[in-house]
Each structure stands twice: as C-alpha cells, then as structure tokens.
Amino acid sequence: MELLYNSTRSKKQPITASMAILQGLSEDGGLFVPDHIPQLDKSLEELSGMTYQETAYEVMKLFLTDFTEEELKDCIAKAYDSKFDTREIAPLVYAQNTYFLELFHGSTIAFKDMALSILPHLLITSARKNKVKNDIVILTATSGDTGKAALAGFADVDGTKIVVFYPKNGVSPIQEKQMVTQKGANTCVVGVTGNFDDAQTGVKRIFGDKEFAKEMAEKGYQFSSANSINIGRLVPQIVYYVYAYAKLLANGEIQNGEKINVVVPTGNFGNILAAYYAKNMGLPIGKLICASNDNKVLYDFFQTGVYDKNRQFVLTSSPSMDILISSNLERLIYRIAGENAEKTAELMAALSGEGKYEITDAMWQELKDFYGNYASEEETAGMIKKIYDSCGYVIDTHTAVAAAAYEKYVAESGDNTKTVVASTASPYKFTRSVMSAIDAKYDTMDDFALVDELSRISGVTVPNAIEEIRTAPVLHDRVCDKTEMAEAVRKFL
C-alpha cells in the first residue's frame, strides 16, 4: 500500500517519500508526516530472528514505499557496515535493573549515526528517482551530535555539499573538535554567536527564503536538511526500538507481546517520536518516558499542556538537550490534533509570535502514553556515579538524565515494567563531565588524559572517533552572527 507524506501545516497535495526526503521541510514551513502509520507486517517472533539490517528493511519499506527493494537494501547495506564497532549495531546492556540500548557505536559515537549513516544514501537515491540535476546542499543546525554525524555521512559524497552551524560556546570541547577537524572538500562548519535555538531558527529562515533559493538554483544548488525535521532522519530511528524489542524477545528477557517502557533523553523530540511511531505500528510499548535536563520546556508541557519557550536558556553538561524549541513536537501536535493542519499551523504561529501555545483538552487526552520528568545537573552527575559505583558501567550525561528521570517515574508510579533506556552518546564524548561526576580528583586532568583514564576504569577501548581527533588539525574556524548565516552559506558555495 502506497504511503504518502503531508505537511503538518496545510492541506497541500501529498508527496512521495523520496520527495519528502529531498525537500526536508515543506514550503509552508511544516514538517512532513506519513498519511497513516503502517502496521508491522512481520510478527514479533519473525523479527526476533533478524539482524539489524534485516529489521531496518522490514520497518523502512513500510514508510518508504516508492523505493524499490533493491534501492532500499543497497542504502541499508552501505549505512550499517564496518563504520559501527559492534556487529549488532545497537547492543543492549543490562545495568541497574534496566536495559540500556547503546546507540553510539557508529563513526561519531552518538545516536545520530543510526540515522545519519543512511540519510546520504536515501537522499542521493531520492535525487536520482526524481531526476534532480542540481547539487544537494545540506543545511543543518546542531546542538552537538547531529553536526559531526551529518558531516561524516556526507563528506565527499558526490553531488552533495554540507554546511553545519553550531552554537560557538554551546557544545562540549570534544564535540567541537570532532566538527572543526572534519575533512572533505564539500564540508563547511560555522560557529554561531548564539545558542542552538538561534542556529536552528536561522536555518529554518534560510529554508523559507524564496529569493535565496532562486539565486542558489540558478547556480545549480538546492537545499535539503539533515536535521531530524527530515523524515529521512526519523524513519531510520524507528528501527532501533523494533530491534531492541525483538532482541529482548530473542534473549528470553520478555514474553511475546509483553509490554516494555521506553525512556528517551529528549531535546528536539525526534528520538522519542520515533518510539511513539513504533508503538503505533503495533510494537508493545507501554509508557514513553520523556527525560529533560534543566531546560525543561518539555517537562512543563507534559505537566500543563502549555508549551512556553519564554524562559532562561541554561547551558548544561548534556548540551544536545539544551533546546527550547523542540521542532519534532510539531509532528506529535499534528497527530493529537486529529491531523488538523490548520490547528497545527495556528499553534506554531503562536509559538513563533508569542513564544508559547496551549493545547486543547481533547489533545491533552491523547498524551496519556507519555510521561515527562527532568534531572538537574546534580541529579545527572549523581546518577553517573551511582551506576558506576554499583556495577562499573559508565554512562554519558544525556543517558544519565534519562536514568534519573526514569528513577523518578518508578518512585511515583510503582510501575516495574521492563524498561529500555535510549543511551544516546558514548561517555567518551563528554569525558570531563562524566569523570568529574565519578570523582572530583579528575577535575585537574586535561581532556585526553581523561580519555585514557576513562578507558582504564571502564575497561572499554577508546573509540576510533576519539583517537583520530587527538592530533587532527583544525580545518574550519569560521564564526558568524546569527544574522549572517545566509551570507556564510553564499560564501561557501
């Protein structure tokens, strides 16, 4: 059955998956959403015997219906290969009465690799299918992880160029070093004097600038996105929730059909939305636990039904979640509004204008699958130490936010359903915060000495992604004001 994509903000003609991937964002500023959520057509029993790559095909074929079997399997084979340092791609580790789904075994040691390893192949295939002759220019704002994962995915891919904007003082030292040392003649990295929301708003503004698009088209370029606003990012993320459930079933940890809860450290809302889509496809998920850091705009939303970005922006030790505008929440809003594009557009206009909106009581009722909580900086550090002290397992700051929010959920609800925590980054990406949480004595060591010490205490080999940036030269040193982002793109192209 063909599945088409609609905009969240208007009743325009639906488009194919490949066109939605190419465009990234709808012309009306809306996000592309499937016209229905397909149901899994393989049993949980069948899925439990599959590799990650086979699971990816079974899930993605249902959403990308204009891709042939050969095209989709080729994209999957190119994405999930030796770039990942574990054969399972996304291993499950049992610690602290919870299953940690390690999503950080790709080339940039963060969960963004799970989708950004395949997006370039989906995009190039989509361009060929739609007879696109222009070079595709990927524009992306990053709060830390998307940038490097997108750069690694698109570096030296023919027919593409990529420009990544990041908040100049809003990412970890290792995240920044990963980006500014990126090789590839088609890559460009620019620091923005502002926060992530400034960078993301700037990218959206460029996408909405018709004159600029026309100017670029005349020079042989067209824009697309690698942010989670692109449906080609979201669909591959659904896969790992299905895979995690299937592995628990295969390992005898759960019975067929038994519900599990899922906890996701959440910033832009794409990762937890993928879990919500998996649940709506028929995967037995109970509660979707949305974990926030001190920028707890989503926690407040789930408490009150009011989304309000008018608040102080806090720089935390979990920078990929330092976000006040969770773009992917729009896709959930559209769904709980009964797929009412007019209502969604009205709420997004309120967010853009007054910086806040309130959902209706009927929409509020549709959120019962979700639970929101947050962890302070102290609670985050305390959870890293607690898990390390109890079982020697080291988690990063984002995963610790999730574990702390989950602990609060269990204390409040008494719900002891088996639970999967999305472990979204390697502790090696945030060594200083992680090691300081374990013991204050590490505060005086430099970043790469901490890397070696983390390897010693965890027994985990230093990932290649860290080794290769120890001595790598800085190749990108551009910084611009948030008002100069379009000019930075023009100069690069």
Question: Could you tell me which of 231, 236, 336, 345 has the C-alpha nearest to residue 288?
Answer: 336
Which letter, b or e, does each residue of 375-401 get, where b requires 16 or more Cβ atoms within 10 Å of its Cβ? bebebbbebbebbbeeeebbbbbbbbb
Q: For strand 32-34 and strand 419-423, is the pairing parallel, antiparallel, or unpaired?
A: unpaired
Residue holding tokens 């990942």? 84
DSSP per-residue codes, 414-472 = -----EEEEE-B-GGGGHHHHHHHH-GGGGGS-HHHHHHHHHHHH--PPPHHHHTTSSP
Compute the C-alpha angle 256/257/258, nearest 5°. 95
Q: Is 461 exposed, middle or buried (0-12, 13-18, 19+ CB in 10 A)?
A: exposed
Q: How far is Cα 431 from Cα 448, in angstroms, rounded to an integer?
A: 9
Q: How far is Cα 257 from Cα 73, in angstroms, rounded to an integer?
A: 28
Catalytic residue among 73, 112, 133, 148: 112
Active-site residue, 482 included: no
Q: Is 2 exposed, middle or buried (0-12, 13-18, 19+ CB in 10 A)?
A: exposed
| Residues 306 and 357 sit within 8 Å (Cβ to Cβ) | yes
Q: How far is Cα 116 from Cα 232, in angstroms, rounded to an integer?
A: 9
List, in sequence order, every beta strand (DSSP E) within 206-351. 221-225, 260-265, 285-292, 306-308
Structure tokens at 114: 């799970």
Q: How far is Cα 295 from Cα 223, in angstroms, rounded to an integer?
A: 30
Residue numbers annotated as active site? 112
